[in-house]
Amino acid sequence: MAEPMFEILLFSAYLSAALISVVIAVYAISVSYLGRETSRSIWSLKKRQLDLRSRIKKFEEKIDVKELEKEIEKYKQEEADLKGKLSFLSLKGAVLLPLLELTLALVISFYGMYQYSWNPALDSYIVGAIIANGIGMVLLVQVLRTVEWAALRVPMPRFEVSFESGLKEEKIKTKETKAFAFTRTNIGDIMAEDVDTFVFFPPGFKVKPSPHYRIRKQTEDHPDYDAAIFSTERIHINIGSIGPDITVEAPEKVGKCKIPICIYERNTGESEYELFIEVE
C-alpha cells in the first residue's frame, strides 16, 4: 500500500511544479490588463457617484429614499465586485496567493517522500498536498476567469432614448399634426460612431416628408409601420444628441401607441428601445 501512496505524492509534486510554471505565465497575461481595468473601474465608479449626486440634487425632497438606498447599495456591491476582480489581476491575487498554496503542496509532497524510507504512513502528507494543490488550482482558475472577464470587457457605447422633453411618453390629439424630436444619450464607455436611428410609427400615423430624414415603409420587423430614418456621425460619452423634428399626423383612433426606436451603431450593431405616444 505504501508504494501507491508514494506515487501519489510524486504525482502531486509534479502537478504542483507544473501549476507553478502556469502561474507565472498567467501573471504575464493578467498584468497586461491590470492598468486598463483599474483606470476604467475608477472612471466607472466616479461616474456612478456623479449620477447619484445629480439625482439627489435634481429631486431633492421628492426623492424616493428607499429607491435611493437601493441605488447606493447597488453601487457599493459593484464597487466591491470590481475591487475583487482587480485583486485577481494584481501581483498578490494572480501570483502570491496561488504560488503560496502550490509551493506548500510541493513542500508537503517532497517532505512526505523524504519521510517514506522510515515512515511509510503517508496519509496526512497526501491529504495536506491535495488540499494545498486544490486551493492553488481554485485560485488559479479564478485568475483565469478574471483575465477572461477583462479580455471580453470591450468598451462599447450604450444608449438611453427619450423625447426631447426627457419623457418616455408624449400626447397628441386625434388628427392633430405635431412635430416630435428624439434624444439619444450615450451612457456607454466609448464614443458612438456612424449612428443610424429608425423611428417606427404604427399604422394610422402619417409621417410628413422632410429633407432632414428619410421615410421608409416597413415590411419585415414592423410590417406596415413607417420608419423615419436619420443619421448622426458621432455621439460622445454622456452626451445627448437630439434628432430632427419628425412631423406626424395622428390617427383618428384614440389610445396609447408604442413607438419602437432602433439604433444601429458601427461597433454595437442593432439595439431597440420603446417610447409611447398617447392619442387623445
Task: Write down all domains in the chain, each with its CATH number in brackets.
Answer: 2-152 (no CATH), 159-279 (2.60.40.10)
Confidence tier at 238 by pLDDT (50, 70, 90): confident
Here the contacts of 221-227 (C-beta below 8 Å, separation 24 or greater) are 221/262, 222/260, 225/200, 225/201, 225/260, 226/200, 226/201, 227/198, 227/199, 227/200, 227/201
Q: Which of 63-72, 98-107, 138-147 has the lowest mean pLDDT?
A: 63-72
The amino acid at residue 61 is: E
Contact 135, 239 (CB under 8 A): no
> What sign for the dihedral angle of Cα 221, 227, 230, 232?
negative
Nearest Cα to Cα of residue 247 among 220, 191, 209: 209
Q: What is the rounded average pLDDT of the residues 84-91?
A: 77
Q: 24 to each of 43, 83, 152, 211, 253, how far by Cα in Å?
A: 29, 22, 22, 61, 69
pLDDT at residue 146 greater than cutoff 90: no
Would the pLDDT of 219 be above 80? no
The helix (run of H) or strand (run of E) holding residue 168 is none
| Range of lowest pLDDT (119-123, 180-184, 209-213) | 119-123
Query: Of 97-106, 113-122, 161-170, 241-250, where does mean pLDDT reach its minimum?
Result: 113-122
Q: 245 near 180, Cβ under 8 Å?
A: yes
Q: Grid coordinates standing for 45?
A: 465608479
- Return the sign of the alpha-carbon dihedral for residues 71, 72, 75, 80: negative
CA distance 194 to 230: 11
| Mean pLDDT in residue range 79-102 | 80
Q: Is the pLDDT of residue 1 over 50?
A: no
User: Looking at the DSSP assignment, which residues form a beta bridge with residue 178?
Assistant: 248
Distance CA 186, CA 234 (A): 10
2 pLDDT more than 60: no
- Of all residues in the chain, the percent with pLDDT exceeding 90 is 28
State residue 74's pLDDT score: 73
Find out whether 209 and 270 touch, Cβ atoms under 8 Å. no
**What's the pLDDT tens digit per position in 37-59?**
777 777 767 776 776 676 666 55
